[in-house]
Amino acid sequence: MPGPSDPARVDLLVRWTTILICLSFVGVLARVAQLQTAPSDRLAVHAGDRVASRPVEGYRGEILDRRGRLLSTSRLGFRAFVDPERIDRERVDDLIVRLAAATDTDAGDFGMRLLRTLAANRGRRAALSGAADEQEAPLDQLRSMLFGRDDAEAAAPDANPREVADSGDQAGRDEAESPTPPKLIRYLPVGPVLTDDQAARVRAIELPGIHLERTPVREYPSGELVASLLGKVGFENHGLMGAELTLDPTLQASDGTARYVRDAKGRPLWIEHGQWTAAQHGKPQRLAIDLELQRIAHEELWRGMEDADSAGGRLVMLVPQTGEILAMVDLYRDVGELPEFPWIDAKPEPGAPTPPPFDPADTTRYRALPADPAREIHPALGRNRCVEDIYEPGSTFKPFVWSLALETGVTTPDELFDTEGGRWRNEFGRRFEDVTRRDEMTWTEVLINSSNIGMVKGSSRIPPEQLRSGLLRFGFGERTGVPLPGESAGRVTSQENWTHWTQESVASGYEIAVTPLQLARAYCALARTGQLAGTMPSIKLLATDPQLANADAMVRALPQDLASRTRTILRQVAAKVEEKMAKAAEPEAGWHYQMWGKSGTANIALGAPPEGKKRPRGIKGYFERQYNSSFVAGAPLDQPRLIVVVVIDDPGPESIAARQHYGSWVAGPVARRVLERSLTYLGVEPDAPIDTEVESGTATASR
């Protein structure tokens, strides 16, 4: 009889043990498969996809100035949100008060939004179950009655819960990621992006349903200095205004994805090979703007506005050789409450008294600048008037008409014109006056003294078709193509509507409308030197490779020698501005750079009347005694490095009463100071003679 160690018996025992173990494994695998594919109702609520995914945030591209200074950048911040389905209904009041205090938001506003969301969820849950409470309104009616369209959209009824990160509440993360009944509101944002201190206070609130989400934050280290140029991004990190909008395609990032295996509590376990897709960050963009030049322009423009008690000001600075925008400033200034212009009814009621004619002695200062309510919210949201708003340039336009008269051969620089002692009425009965009153002037003196009479007489010899086509060569009447939203094309009267009145008006810078940027580009034709003299560059918002600076197709506006001649004559105009500044004891030292340029002073146009209104009798299409006073300048004289356009909008009544509201008085000094400081900063070699005197141990320079 075989013993206990019989090999056959041992083999049989091993065989059956192996079979039992294998059957057990098969049973376990079958059970796992059954739990995965067809779990019981009790387990189904706890089961879910064990592979989860999260976005890998891509950063929006940075915006830099031409020297690499940071203008706009992105980071990840935190924003608080509430999952209304997880909050403790017994502690709603406590949640509202504590969360509002932690995020520094209004408790009443947040509380109302939360209560409306809870009410909306009750109605939706009842509708989904097919047992709607008769006391609750249908979904659409409830949305309209309780919180209207804006609040309904803010509650994002169709949105899935956002990715929860670093909330300190793992159960909240599990609940947010678990399947939810369709259409229930699971995401209610609270306040703006939080500071680090606010985020820490939110984490300290030990109430269910409160979470923190990571969200991109766009920051502007330069503050309001370049706000109107940069613009702003919206909640979804898309550009809304300015450069942020036009450069949006290249600044936009593409999020990546991380797919990971998680445990039963939703905690990440591992990432398998190939389950990570890296984010594509937006490309940085280097603007042509120089932040320091922008600061100089901002400071000097504001100083000029205060000196003139003006309601606004605009400034554009260009590199004439490349067309790059180095600075662009648009400012409003509070001058108190100004009354609206007294329009009258276009169709008065029958029997209504006839409105009296406009009193020519009326010295009321009306609100002449267009309202810009978005600017009051944030400077980045306002219009950029340097590219969007047009104005009549006045005498700053005369160099173009003056040079075209020489180009067409209708006059010569030394021809004498009868300037009628400064007052003249032409054959059509139109009256003209000069500020500098003389019996006669040469054509060169007509430009230097800005004689309206001389300009009208000289320009009248130019065939209208040639004058208009010549002005179009300078880019007037068309957009510059700068990549900024809302650019205006300006306005040039069509050939069929061009009359002798137009010919006379254009000679003095009226009946033509430009933007400051258009005018700056046109002056580049006078500022460029060598073979480029008389040509205009394309306008560039982005910094240009120096090797490609002159690669643009040239747009010739004037012959080379005529452009240089005009610039040289404009040096004498700028010298008059410096004489006025010297009388005001400014500057104490002489100037280092020879400036050339032209002033202009034009009445502000009334614009179109409001609907149903018209102008009073006795007034033309302009505000009385309210002006756009401007100056366009370049320096140095022989090799101009900068072009600056300065517009002082609506100088105050005291300047007008003292007859110091002209462009040479209020805008010329701003241009002079901006050029002097800017060229010094750029390290440009001085071209003005400087004599040094020593008084009481102090060195002073004088010209």
Q: Which residue type, as a one-letter code, is found at position 347?
A: K
Would you state the pLDDT for residue 37? Answer: 65
Would you state the pLDDT for residue 685? Answer: 95
CA 698 to each of CA 77, 206, 225, 693: distance values in angstroms, whole numbers, following the listed order: 54, 69, 35, 8
Task: Give the residue-averaged pLDDT of 548-557.
Answer: 71
For residue 349, pLDDT beyond 70: yes
Instruction: Note whether 79 and 194 are within 8 A (CB).
Output: yes
For residue 175, pLDDT beyond 80: no
Task: Give the residue-averaged pLDDT of 9-21.
Answer: 83
Compute the distance between CA of residue 391 and CA of residue 645 in angstroms, rounded to an integer: 13
Identify whether residues 619 and 535 lie together within a single domain.
yes
Q: Which residue has the tokens 């008006």?
A: 505
Q: How confident is the model at residue 131 (pLDDT cuts 50, 70, 90)?
A: very low
For residue 143, pLDDT beyond 70: no
Would you state the pLDDT for residue 600? Answer: 96
For residue 386, pLDDT beyond 60: yes
pLDDT in tens, 499-534: 999 999 999 999 999 999 999 999 999 999 999 999
Last residue of a domain, one of 186, 221, 256: 221
Would you state the pLDDT for residue 47? Answer: 55
Identify whether residues 533 and 651 lie together within a single domain.
yes
**220 or 351: which carries more pLDDT confidence?**
220
Identify whether residues 208 and 258 lie together within a single domain.
no
Would you state the pLDDT for residue 163? Answer: 36
Last residue of a domain, one of 264, 287, 310: 287
CB atoms within 10 A of CB 221: 11
- What CATH number is attached to the domain comprising 344? 3.40.710.10
For residue 118, pLDDT beyond 80: yes
DSSP H helices in 333-448: 373-377, 385-388, 398-407, 443-448
**Residue 497: inside a domain:** yes
**Of the given ranges (88-102, 395-409, 604-618, 689-703), which has the lowest mean pLDDT?**
689-703
Would you state the pLDDT for residue 267? Answer: 77
Instruction: Note whether 663 and 395 are within 8 A (CB).
Output: yes
Identify whether residues 168 and 244 lie together within a single domain.
no
**Residue 630: inside a domain:** yes
Instruction: Note whether 60 and 155 are within 8 A (CB).
Output: no
Give the CA-trace dihedral at 529, 534, 539, 544, to 10 degrees.
Answer: -30
For residue 587, pLDDT beyond 90: no
Identify whether residues 87 and 112 lie together within a single domain.
yes
Max mean pLDDT range (57-61, 126-130, 200-204, 350-354): 200-204
Identify whether residues 210 and 195 lie together within a single domain.
yes
Task: Give the residue-averaged pLDDT of 55-61.
Answer: 85
For residue 216, pLDDT beyond 70: yes
For residue 274, pLDDT beyond 90: no
Would you state the pLDDT for residue 498? Answer: 97
Q: Which residues of 372-402 are buried (b: 16+ CB within 10 A; e: fewer)?
A: beebeeebbbbbbbbbbbbbbbbbbbbbbbb
* End-to-end Cα distance, the chain: 134
Would you state the pLDDT for residue 701? Answer: 34
Would you state the pLDDT for residue 549? Answer: 58
**Residue 533: inside a domain:** yes
Number of domains in the chain: 3
Q: Which residue type, as a one-letter code, is found at position 503?
A: Q
Compute the distance between CA of residue 507 and CA of residue 457 in angstroms, rounded to an integer: 9
Would you tell me the crossing angle of helices 500-507 and 398-407 to the nearest 10 degrees? 110
Would you state the pLDDT for residue 41? Answer: 63
Would you state the pLDDT for residue 102? Answer: 93
Would you state the pLDDT for residue 271? Answer: 81
Compute the distance between CA of residue 690 and CA of residue 680 in angstroms, rounded to an integer: 14
**Of the given ranges (84-98, 209-223, 263-277, 496-510), which has the lowest mean pLDDT?**
263-277
For residue 321, what are the contacts with CB-CB under 8 A and spacing of at least 6?
Answer: 528, 532, 537, 549, 550
Name the β-bridge partners of 77.
Answer: 215
Closest CA to 367 of 699, 611, 124, 626: 626
Identify whether residues 330 and 467 lie together within a single domain.
yes
Identify whether residues 57 and 145 lie together within a single domain.
no
For residue 343, pLDDT beyond 90: yes
Residue 84 has φ and ψ, to the nearest 5°, of -60, -20
Last residue of a domain, one of 287, 309, 331: 287
Would you tell me the crossing angle of helices 398-407 and 452-459 to the nearest 10 degrees? 40
Identify whether residues 278 and 346 lie together within a single domain.
no
**Residue 261: inside a domain:** yes
For residue 698, pLDDT beyond 60: no
Q: E strands, 470-595, where?
A: 491-492, 512-513, 535-536, 555-556
Identify whether residues 87 and 148 lie together within a single domain.
yes
Closest CA to 605 of 510, 680, 677: 510
For residue 141, pLDDT beyond 60: no
**Residue 448: inside a domain:** no
- Percent of the chain with pLDDT strictly greater than 70: 85
CA angle, 117 then 212 then 233, to 5°: 85
pLDDT in tens, 441-460: 999 999 999 999 999 999 99
Would you state the pLDDT for residue 481? Answer: 94
**Residue 6: inside a domain:** no
For residue 548, pLDDT beyond 50: yes
Would you state the pLDDT for residue 547? Answer: 65
Compute the distance between CA of residue 542 and CA of residue 339 in angstroms, rounded to an integer: 41
Identify whether residues 65 and 144 lie together within a single domain.
no
**Residue 16: inside a domain:** no
Q: Which domain holds residue 571?
A: 291-410+462-695
**Residue 432: inside a domain:** no
Identify whether residues 144 and 259 lie together within a single domain.
no
Compute the distance between CA of residue 262 and CA of residue 174 in angstroms, rounded to an integer: 11
pLDDT in tens, 630-684: 999 999 999 999 999 999 999 999 999 999 999 999 999 999 999 999 999 999 9
The two structure tokens encoding residue 40: 């019981």
Average pLDDT, the chain: 85
- Percent of the chain with pLDDT strictly greater than 90: 60
Handedness of CA 518, 522, 524, 527 (dihedral sign): negative
Compute the distance between CA of residue 383 and CA of residue 376 in angstroms, rounded to an integer: 11
For residue 539, pLDDT beyond 50: yes
The two structure tokens encoding residue 690: 């400087």
